[in-house]
């Protein structure tokens, strides 16, 4: 890892730069695949699944028999763990339900707001080197609580044409309505346009590599919403001398093993802590099965020393981490003042892994600094707010004159007339 001591604020932007490709590097590929899927549907999806995943299907939808076999093959211990996580996620997201808001803004003018589910949801679940069945829970559970009618899940197949059994089990457990063995750009394109076998959806959720991230952003140009521009995973830890070096190192490595383009950062007011954590990382790294991946991510990461908590907070807010762990005797200062972070973990016994799996909070979070302006996935992500109003004769009389004046000032005579006609009808009726 790169050690940096007391960097000047003008250098923070360069120091905190993410190790990602620019959009221009991959946008051309994404656009090409989108265009082909739009024109040729399943034929194009099959072509790119064969090209990228090495398999070709007559039917890419997962069958009931495949789901039943997957359910049988998942161990009782893993099933119990998934069910525990599901229960906690349900508890946390169910608590986010809100009541209808009703207000009489002025006598005779009744306005209210109600939330309704987004009817058609698409979930993208990465497979590859780490099949993220936990992400199925994080997305399908709140989608069901929200009341979404269709929940379509796309996940890349392995070389044998299968999806990891744990992904299928979690999808079955959480009420996913259709599971498709398609990944990458072609999956996002298929859910954007719809094909002969893959439904078009209204909003796409889920993390992925940089190609998937760009594909999701392109999908927004075709009337499909997305959760957020979620790219490679990242973690920033603030640690002083009250932190446990072994814990800090384990958390940094837990994010580094996600992928070679993951980024982990330690910010500390203790030089001794930085040295201890660096040593722990080397020790723990040696026994990791995903050592090669973690090593490459660690090479892009930073150990940053600053003199005080105030400087640390400013630097962390500038970065806007996806995950932020606070291990500090002054934890309240950071908890109360942090402005930009996706999900926050407090104290030595709150590992980021807890949020990834089973504490109940959602792990689909903004990366690449988008924590400055995006929320992580929550119940409202699967809903839309609709406003209603009912105005009585008294109500239109109370606001009618103001509407007429404002409409006329904007030069919109028809708007004014819509009110004037009603006011005259009321007057004549009397």
Same domain, 84 and 212: yes
323 is catalytic: yes
Binding residues: 124, 186, 209, 233, 255, 258, 323, 356, 410, 415
Q: Which of 230, 265, 280 is the last residue of a domain?
A: 230
Instruction: Give yes or no: residues 132 and 79 share one domain.
Output: yes
- Looking at the structure, do residues 195 and 265 belong to the same domain, yes or no? no
Residue 18's pLDDT is what? 85
Contact yes or no for 324/343 (Cβ under 8 A): yes
Among the candidates 204, 230, 256, a domain finishes at 230
Q: Residue 405 sits in a domain of what CATH number?
A: 1.20.5.1300
Secondary structure class of 369 (helix, strand, coil): coil
Residue 387 included in any domain? no
Q: Which of 360, 377, 400 is the last residue of a domain?
A: 360
| Among 323, 363, 393, 408, the one annotated catalytic | 323
Segment 223-281, tens digit of pLDDT: 999 999 777 889 999 999 999 999 999 999 999 998 888 999 999 999 999 999 999 99
Same structural domain for residues 132 and 42? yes
Number of Cβ within a 10 Å radius of residue 254: 21
Residue appearing with tokens 């990461």? 301
Q: Are residues 84 and 203 in the same domain?
A: yes
Exposed / middle / buried, residue 278 (Cβ in 10 Å: 0-12, 13-18, 19+): middle
User: Quick check: is 331 in a domain?
Assistant: yes
Residue 121 is assigned to a structural domain of this protein: yes
Q: What is the CATH number of the domain that holds 354?
A: 3.40.50.1980
Would residue 378 count as lying in a domain? no
Bridge-based pairing state of the strands 109-117 and 101-106? antiparallel
pLDDT for 260 equals: 86
- Owning domain of residue 166: 23-98+117-230
The active-site residue, picked from 234, 257, 280, 322, is: 322
Beta bridge partners of 325: 237, 345
**Binding-site sequence positions for substrate:** 233, 255, 258, 323, 356, 410, 415
Range 104-109 contact pairs with CB under 8 angstroms and sequence separation of 24 or more: 106/395, 106/398, 106/399, 107/394, 107/395, 107/398, 108/391, 108/392, 108/393, 108/394, 108/395, 108/396, 108/397, 108/398, 109/389, 109/391, 109/392, 109/395, 109/398, 109/399
Does residue 171 share a domain with residue 38?
A: yes
Same domain, 76 and 183: yes
| Residues 50 and 61 placed together within one structural domain of the fold | yes
305 and 420 fall within a common domain: no
Longest dimension (CA), the chain: 88
Following CA atoms 264, 268, 274, 277 in sequence, which dihedral angle do they give, to the nearest 10 degrees? Answer: -50
Number of domains in the chain: 3
Question: Which pLDDT value is given to residue 37?
Answer: 98
Which residue numbers belong to the known binding site for NAD(+)?
A: 124, 186, 209
Are 212 and 346 a contacting pair, CB within 8 Å?
no
Within-domain flag for 111:
no
pLDDT < 50: residue spans in the chain: none
Q: What confidence score (pLDDT) does residue 430 get?
A: 66
Interval 199-220: pLDDT, tens: 999 999 998 888 998 999 999 9
């Amino acid at each position: 890892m790169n050690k940096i001591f007391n960097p000047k604020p003008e250098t923070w932007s360069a120091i905190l730069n993410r190790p990602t490709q620019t959009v221009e590097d991959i946008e051309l590929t994404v656009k090409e695949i989108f265009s082909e899927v739009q024109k040729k549907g399943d034929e194009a999806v099959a072509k790119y699944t064969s090209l990228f995943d090495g398999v070709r299907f007559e039917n890419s939808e997962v069958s009931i028999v495949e789901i039943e076999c997957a359910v049988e093959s998942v161990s009782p211990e893993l099933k119990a763990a998934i069910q525990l996580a599901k229960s906690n996620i349900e508890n946390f997201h169910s608590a986010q339900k809100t009541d209808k808001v009703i207000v009489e803004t002025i006598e005779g003018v009744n306005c209210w707001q109600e939330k309704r589910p987004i009817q058609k949801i698409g979930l993208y679940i990465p497979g590859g080197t780490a099949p993220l069945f936990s992400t199925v829970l994080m997305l399908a559970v709140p989608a069901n609580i929200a009341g979404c009618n269709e929940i379509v899940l796309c996940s890349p197949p392995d070389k044998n044409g299968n999806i990891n059994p744990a992904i299928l089990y979690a999808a079955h457990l959480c009420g996913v309505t259709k599971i498709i063995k398609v990944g990458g750009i072609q999956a996002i394109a298929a859910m954007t346009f719809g094909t002969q076998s893959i439904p078009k959806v209204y909003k796409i959720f889920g993390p992925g590599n940089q190609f998937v991230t760009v594909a999701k952003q392109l999908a927004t140009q075709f009337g499909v919403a997305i959760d957020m521009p979620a790219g490679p995973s990242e973690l920033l830890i603030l640690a002083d001398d009250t932190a446990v070096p072994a814990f800090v190192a384990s958390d940094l490595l837990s994010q580094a093993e996600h992928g070679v383009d993951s980024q982990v950062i330690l910010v500390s007011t203790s030089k001794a802590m930085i040295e201890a954590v660096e040593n722990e990382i080397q020790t723990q790294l040696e026994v990791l099965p995903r050592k090669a991946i973690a090593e490459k991510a660690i090479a892009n990461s930073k150990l940053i020393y600053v003199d005080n908590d105030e400087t640390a907070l400013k630097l962390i807010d500038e970065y806007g981490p996806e995950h932020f762990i606070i291990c500090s005797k002054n934890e309240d200062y950071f908890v109360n003042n942090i402005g930009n972070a996706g999900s926050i973990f407090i104290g030595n016994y709150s590992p980021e892994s807890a949020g990834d799996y089973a504490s109940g909070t959602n792990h689909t979070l903004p990366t690449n600094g988008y924590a400055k302006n995006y929320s992580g996935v929550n119940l409202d992500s699967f809903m839309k707010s609709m406003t209603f109003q009912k105005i009585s004769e008294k109500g239109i009389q109370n606001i009618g004159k103001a509407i007429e004046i404002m409409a006329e000032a904007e030069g919109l005579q028809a708007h004014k007339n819509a009110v004037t006609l009603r006011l005259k009808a009321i007057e004549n009726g009397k």
